[in-house]
A and B are shown apart, each in its own frame.
Chain A
């Protein structure tokens, strides 16, 4: 079928890769074959640990020292990569294949100016000084950097993350490669910046001829960017096909299960529990006799456990499942139904915040991280906080907890009692009433202590329990997050990310808190684990009647768990209201932009609104409406001169915008009717 005159951009034939650990070869990739045609964008998805990055590293032969290719062949534009000597390998890396890494801040050399790093690439190809500079400028123009000369004089740390990634892409494209490998290129970026970078890559695809290998854990991003997609599991390709086919009509239970873990289409905690994938990915090097997914698959029978399914060819697509025709009948592993929601609770807010401010001193300037924030949190409800990084979400959470003291002037009330801004001045009951689940459990759990010690200490200090009573409650608590006593004796490093986060959640619940702040609790986790954690949080809320302040950059996750949403920008609340109203709109132009920046799996049309540039510095916020510098719906001078009030648009729904609510409704409605 392929045109014989142009070789395929990349062909992997029965590739097996192992890492040598403790004197044993542990298989990471198993008999992996795939083909990327010229000009094609191929997405590789799967949970962490399934071998995605190893594929990328093998292709450019950058495997770590203990990595060995145990079998198979890699052909890059018709050349066998494994037979290249050092010189031709160097030439191949310089000329035909480029890589863009996840963390541009680490991929760029921090001590060399951008300009030098760019020209170096051209000089390697024998282009003289001045010509190299010119080419670098045109390359930066190409990645939509408007002022390349100034950017070239900077050091990487002087650029924002989005800008750094553009430079990374420009450098990757500088050699006009035939194969571009993108390894999680937008994972560390804000949704708005991610949208920009993805737009850029999509546009560059039309301008350049490069084929793309796009590696991501984010299914929605891959579905937006790629023509075809391969699903990797335990180092094996389990499904492959066009993006639309695989995501809309998956034929492998793993793909089916993965798609079900994502909160989609506005699912909410009071309607349904998310499905999860039981069990764990086989460890690297595990002996797999049958289907690698069999242990976690509800469809599996004895054949699946004993006989490795071949890659069935289903007419242009592949599935490694004995029962691919009924993959979608995969039963749910977590009941979707939920216990009846408890009756409405009292109408008195558990937490009432009024005019909360926080000013930091930054190099002699005042930096106002949180600006006049007022809100109420009702008992048993969740308030979602959204906004780009730098919008003050985390600072706000730390103010509530008393970890940083607020400026004087504002007030906080917990259950009607005044709440001091300093932790030391709070009563013991107030301290234990507010706890937090941190983003990164590795940092949140003391790695020197056993789980038993960590939990026991929390029960002793927060619940005042000792001895047998402590033991009893410890077991209860551990069971309530669905861990067992067996987990108590180990140290955090011996647990997986999801299990560690369960421990952190159990610790937060040790003193029967009234409010738990969840600061991006699932962003470090895989989707299947994320689903389990979200379910757990929702269940605990129903059972313990606790309120959450839920911070996340993932809007679908926030939507699933939140009753109310507050949208923050430069420390100000731009919009606040019941979750459904904020999401369904009409909404603040900033909310609108955030929502359309997120790639969605069910997306039918390209998103409409894009934000230009970066969030301005809080040291020197824009005059008037702080959002006017980036607002796609700016109406005129009034936006630059007057700060709009937080206006009651509908009952309980407030928006900080000069555009009247009805007008916003009209503008946002109109856009929906006319496809872009």
Chain B
């Protein structure tokens, strides 16, 4: 028997498959909760960016004579105790929260991912020490840490971002750590060691791209909590400061009125906060579903 001139198996066309990122985008497009959540979030983002051009009244303009008017054709959501138009204030009220919360989440993600990579990659003593410290942080409620820090550092948006960012970092670190722990058992990490790659290269170039999905999920989930935390701090007077039309702040300055029957001063802001948190959570849900498929 002689060899024939049949083509050797060295020219197989790589099968046409979509890239993983494309598949995730396609799955997101099919996810009802993602689309719903995205519509809500995008709505509030657009309001924050361009709302001031469309509001029927100046959200900051006092009009004491018309204070505490119930919803009417002129003031759709009524007016508050200073006579400011509630509808206009709700529309632009997301401005501060939508800068502070995402920046805090971003900080938490960067810090948490770095910590998670280090603890998961080195294990041993590094892991033990850092993980115990992080657990100790997680044991204290966010709001208390935030209060202490803000009292000590003074109120400012930057303080709020740093405080919320750092208190969320341990949670993200824990998620990243567990992903890294299973990832570093894979042989490509051993192969990197056999090439004498530096630990930083192995962590950030080899491992990090493979743990992006859990980080993405955790980040979107955290964003929802961050919005919640910022609103809570503002409500308590430690977050965003007057005269901002911020929702949490508005509720804080008007909730005493509910007893007098002036529900509209609080209700619409509360709905706004709820809708934004729900929207972000729906997005998180969709992202999780798409990445786990």
Contacts and interface: CB of A to CB of B under 8 A. Distances in A.
Interface of A: 276-280, 283, 298, 331-336, 401, 403, 423, 428, 431, 434-436, 438, 440, 443-449, 457-458, 461-462, 482-484, 486-487, 490-491, 493-496, 498-499, 507, 532
A503 B69 CA distance: 74
A496 B15 CA distance: 9
The 4 closest A-B pairs by CB, nearest first: A448-B209, A482-B10, A444-B187, A335-B3
Nearest to A504: B191
B210 A490 contact: no
B292 interface: no
A496 B10 CA distance: 12
A298 B11 CA distance: 17
A431 B194 contact: yes
B196 interface: yes
Contact of A438 (B8, B15, B187, B206): B187
B195 A461 contact: yes
A298 B14 contact: no
Interface centre among B2, B17, B194 (most CB of A within 10 A): B194
B186 A449 contact: no
B269 to A, nearest CB: 44
A462 B188 contact: no
22 contacts: A278-B9, A332-B2, A333-B4, A336-B1, A403-B193, A423-B194, A423-B196, A431-B195, A436-B194, A440-B187, A443-B187, A444-B191, A448-B209, A449-B209, A461-B196, A482-B9, A484-B10, A486-B13, A486-B14, A493-B17, A498-B9, A532-B9
Given A333-B6, A447-B210, A438 B195 contact: no
Given A331-B2, A331-B3, A446-B206, A428 B14 contact: no
B116 to A, nearest CB: 17
Interface centre among B2, B13, B20, B196 (most CB of A within 10 A): B196
Contacts of A401: 194
A327 to B, nearest CB: 13
Nearest to A434: B194
A278 B6 contact: yes
A507 B195 CA distance: 10
Contact of A448 (B13, B196, B210): B210
Interface centre among B4, B12, B15 (most CB of A within 10 A): B12
A451 to B, nearest CB: 10
Contact of B15 (A434, A444, A482, A494): A494
B197 interface: yes
A488 to B, nearest CB: 10
Given A443-B187, A495-B14, A457 B7 contact: no
A461 B9 contact: no
A484 B12 CA distance: 9
B190 interface: yes
A331 B19 CA distance: 39
Given A444-B187, A486-B14, A278 B7 contact: yes
B17 A445 contact: no
Interface in B185-218: 186-188, 190-191, 193-197, 206, 209-210
Nearest to B208: A448
Interface in B10-63: 10-15, 17, 19-20
Interface of B: 1-4, 6-15, 17, 19-20, 186-188, 190-191, 193-197, 206, 209-210
B12 A279 contact: yes
Interface centre among A445, A446, A447 (most CB of B within 10 A): A446
B188 A278 contact: no
Given A403-B193, A443-B187, A331 B1 contact: yes
Given A333-B4, A487-B14, A435 B194 contact: yes
A279 B7 contact: yes
A440 B187 CA distance: 8
Contacts of A431: 194-196
Contacts of A335: 2-3
Contacts of A484: 10-11
B188 A446 contact: yes
A428 B190 CA distance: 16
A483 B194 contact: no
Given A276-B9, A278-B8, A423 B193 contact: yes
Contacts of A443: 186-188
B181 to A, nearest CB: 15
Contacts of B194: 401, 403, 423, 431, 434-436
Contacts of A495: 14
A37 B9 CA distance: 40
Given A278-B6, A486-B13, 18 more contacts: A277-B9, A331-B1, A331-B4, A336-B1, A401-B194, A428-B196, A436-B194, A443-B187, A444-B186, A444-B187, A444-B191, A446-B188, A446-B209, A449-B209, A461-B197, A493-B20, A496-B12, A507-B191
A298 B209 contact: no
Contacts of A487: 14
A461 B20 CA distance: 28
Contacts of B13: 486
B38 to A, nearest CB: 23
Contact of A298 (B4, B10, B186, B193): B4
Nearest to A483: B10
A70 to B, nearest CB: 23
A431 B190 CA distance: 13
B191 A438 contact: yes
Contacts of A458: 195
Contacts of A494: 14-15, 17
A447 B186 CA distance: 11
Contact of B3 (A332, A447, A493, A498): A332
Contact of A333 (B3, B17, B191): B3
A439 to B, nearest CB: 8
Contacts of A435: 194
Nearest to B191: A444
Contacts of A483: 10
Contact of B188 (A276, A283, A445, A499): A445
Interface centre among B15, B19, B197 (most CB of A within 10 A): B15
A346 B142 CA distance: 70
Contacts of B3: 331-336
Given A332-B1, A446-B206, A448-B210, A436 B6 contact: no
A484 B9 CA distance: 11
Nearest to B19: A491
A602 to B, nearest CB: 20
Contact of A490 (B6, B7, B8, B14): B14
Contacts of A438: 187, 190-191
A279 B187 CA distance: 28
Nearest to A444: B187
Contacts of A449: 209
A278 B4 CA distance: 11
Nearest to A447: B210
A671 B195 CA distance: 50
B21 to A, nearest CB: 11
Contacts of A444: 186-188, 191
Nearest to A459: B195
Contacts of B10: 482-484
A448 B186 CA distance: 13
Contacts of A491: 19
Interface centre among A423, A431, A443, A496 (most CB of B within 10 A): A443
A403 B190 contact: yes
Interface centre among B1, B15, B191, B195 (most CB of A within 10 A): B191
Contacts of B11: 484
Contacts of B9: 276-280, 482, 498, 532
A615 to B, nearest CB: 23
B117 to A, nearest CB: 14
Contacts of B196: 423, 428, 431, 461
Contacts of B15: 283, 494
Contacts of A486: 13-14
Contacts of A447: 210
